[in-house]
């Protein structure tokens, strides 16, 4: 029996699993191949709807799918990975178990680098989002980082009635979107204005204080909750330290998404090059999903003694929501705003949620939610 070990329970692992199961039905049925998932979290978090959860439009439970449900044919170990030995082809887990592997997929994603901003919350730790939404019920919020994620989050807190300050070190928010779609970037600024978000640009958050956050110009922002969305660093895995990495700590992949013999990676953990432009693809869900699909196909090829195929996905675009009916989307370079952008974004996310039953509940919940009413305090689910 050959064993495929998937590290992490995020987009990469779920999609690699799906692609493998479709190709290895016979092998799995006959017990010739086993898939084992090791994940620190026992559920897949659909981060795309974080804004909707924060705004009180969706219960957090709808965005979390137990891994036993998302990957039913896999054996699941609920533990962190403490070491990978490439020489012995073994993974050691925090619960003491040691797994031999024939194929290994590193899908452990990334974390916000908040070491310098001790006390700031991030949204990725298990239970982090629930805790954050509870804490933010009564008090001002500071969101650090004016990328698409920070802007969307600031808008969501404002939609639930919080006083929100968005702190961004650059001159204008959403710089990456602005470079490609300046009109959409201006629309993001207008949406923040509509929702009453105070935007502080040209300053960095230096430290959290008991009462908020200290900025580089010496001023302080009062905040009960400080959330950092200041970029990402790949989760480090002991044993993989010697593999080539980029400055964000991402594992450098080949065109077939290999990082070492019989070890594949994608999503936030990996630097994957765009097949046409040759530049690194963005760390977001779409690229993680597509890399996961390709990894699953290549693992199936490898188990059958065939060569893997290069990653060929060319991209689709990006989107951000500012409440029901308010969104911006860049679809194949075409700028779209308002209801159409909002519907396209929701439709896309629903299509890629790992749980059909949860996905089907999303449109109704969104349209019934408080977003159609004037901004006000929303219930915590
Ligand atoms: C709040 C938020 C909002 C976002 N919104 C959007 C959006 O609107 N659109 C979009 O496209 N992208 C969005 N993203 C980005 C997107 O979620 C990521 O790019 C995507 O999750 C990457 O997928 P992944 O599989 O690489 O990692 P993840 O989905 O993060 O999965 C990583 C998995 O590894 C596990 N893990 C980590 N370390 C270990 C360890 N040592 N041992 C075992 N398991 C471990 C984690 O528990 C998790 O299960 C958002 C991200 C966040 C945090």
- State the CATH number of the domain containing residue 172: 3.50.50.60
Structure confidence at residue 372 (pLDDT): 40
Number of domains in the chain: 2
Whether residues 221 and 333 fall in one domain: yes
Q: Is residue 250 part of a domain?
A: yes
Q: Please give the helix or strand (H or E) that residue 222 lies within, else none.
A: strand 220-222
28 plus 132 within the same structural domain = no
For ligand 1, what atom is nearest to the CA of residue 266?
A: 26
State whether 140 and 198 are in the same domain.
yes
Q: Is residue 45 part of a domain?
A: no
pTM over 0.75, yes/no:
yes
pLDDT band at 225 (very low <50, low <70, confident <90, very high): confident
Whole-number Cα distances in Å, 264 to 12, 121, 138, 292 = 10, 30, 44, 9
**Atom of ligand 1 at shortest range from CA of 45:** 29
Q: What is the mean pLDDT of the chain?
A: 91
pLDDT band at 367 (very low <50, low <70, confident <90, very high): confident
Closest CA to 264 of 304, 232, 309: 309
Q: Which two tokens stand for residue 31?
A: 């017990």
- CA 251–ligand 1 middle distance (angstroms): 15
How far apart are the CA of 108 and the centre of ligand 1, in A? 8
pLDDT tens per residue, range 63-91: 999 999 999 999 999 999 999 999 999 99
User: Residue 198 falls within a domain, yes or no?
Assistant: yes
Asked whether residue 377 is domain-assigned, the answer is no
Rg of the chain over all Cα atoms, to the nearest angstrom: 21
Residue 136's pLDDT is 62
As a whole number, mean pLDDT of residues 337-364 equals: 93
Closest CA to ligand 1's atom 5: 48
With the most atoms of ligand 1 within 8 angstroms of its CB, the residue from 257, 268, 281, 347 to mutate is 268
What range does the domain containing 331 cover? 128-231+317-372
Does 321 lie in the same domain as 297?
no
Contact predicate 14/7, CB 8 Å: no
* SS3 per-residue string spanning 99-151: EECCEEEECCCEECCCCCCCCCECCCCCCHHHHHHHHHHHCCEEEECCCHHHH
Query: Whole-angstrom Cα distance, residue 188 to residue 322?
Result: 8
Would you say residue 50 lies in a domain? no
3-state DSSP assignment of residue 62: helix
Residue 266 lies in a domain: yes
User: What pLDDT does 126 receive?
Assistant: 60
Sign of the Cα torsion 249, 253, 258, 260 reads negative
pLDDT greater than 80 at residue 281: yes
74 domain residue, yes or no? no
Are 215 and 299 members of one domain?
no
Please report which confidence band the pLDDT of residue 374 belongs to, taking 50, 70 and 90 as the band edges.
very low
Q: Are residues 136 and 178 in the same domain?
A: yes
Ligand 1 binding pocket, CB closer than 6 Å: 7-12, 38-41, 47-48, 50, 80-81, 107-109, 123-124, 149, 235, 267-269, 283-286, 288
* pLDDT, mean of residues 256-277: 97
Average the pLDDT over each of 69-83, 120-134, 358-372 and give the range with the smallest value.
Answer: 120-134
Same domain, 208 and 333: yes
- Which residues, in sequence order, are bridge partners of residue 78? 39
- Rounded to an integer, the average pLDDT of 144-154 is 94
Same domain, 144 and 227: yes
């Amino acid at each position: 029996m050959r064993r495929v070990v998937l590290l992490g329970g995020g987009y990469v692992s779920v999609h690699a699993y799906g692609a493998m199961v479709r190709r290895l039905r016979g092998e799995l049925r006959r017990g010739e191949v086993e898939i084992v998932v090791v994940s620190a979290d026992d559920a897949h978090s659909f981060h795309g709807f974080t804004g909707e959860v924060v705004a009180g439009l969706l219960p957090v439970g709808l965005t979390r799918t137990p891994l036993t449900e998302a990957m039913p044919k896999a054996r699941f170990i609920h533990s962190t990975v403490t070491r990978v030995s490439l020489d012995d082809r073994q993974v050691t887990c925090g619960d003491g178990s040691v797994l031999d592997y024939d194929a290994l997929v590193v899908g452990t994603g990334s974390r916000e680098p908040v070491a310098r901003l001790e006390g700031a919350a991030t949204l990725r730790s298990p239970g982090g989002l629930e805790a954050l939404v509870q804490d933010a019920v009564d008090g001002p919020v500071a969101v650090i980082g004016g990328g698409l994620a920070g802007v969307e989050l600031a808008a969501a807190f404002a939609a639930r009635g919080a006083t929100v300050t968005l702190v961004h070190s650059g001159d204008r928010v959403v710089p990456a979107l602005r470079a490609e779609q300046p009109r959409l970037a201006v629309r993001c600024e207008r949406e923040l204005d509509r929702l009453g978000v105070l935007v502080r640009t040209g300053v960095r958050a230096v430290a959290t204080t008991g009462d908020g956050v200290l900025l580089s110009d010496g001023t302080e922002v009062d905040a009960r909750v400080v959330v950092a969305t200041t970029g990402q660093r790949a989760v480090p895995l002991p044993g993989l330290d010697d593999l080539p990495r980029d400055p964000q700590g991402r594992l450098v992949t080949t065109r077939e998404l290999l990082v070492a013999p019989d070890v594949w990676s994608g999503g936030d953990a990996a630097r994957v090059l765009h097949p046409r432009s040759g530049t690194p693809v963005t760390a977001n869900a779409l690229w993680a999903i597509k890399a996961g699909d390709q990894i699953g196909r290549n693992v199936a090829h490898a188990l059958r003694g065939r060569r893997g195929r290069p990653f060929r996905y060319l991209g689709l675009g990006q989107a951000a929501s500012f409440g029901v009916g308010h969104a911006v989307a860049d679809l194949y370079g075409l700028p779209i705003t308002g209801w159409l952008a909002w519907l396209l974004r929701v439709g896309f996310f629903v299509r890629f949620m790992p749980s059909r039953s949860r996905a089907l509940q999303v449109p109704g919940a969104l349209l019934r939610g408080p977003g159609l009413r004037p901004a006000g305090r929303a219930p915590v689910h």
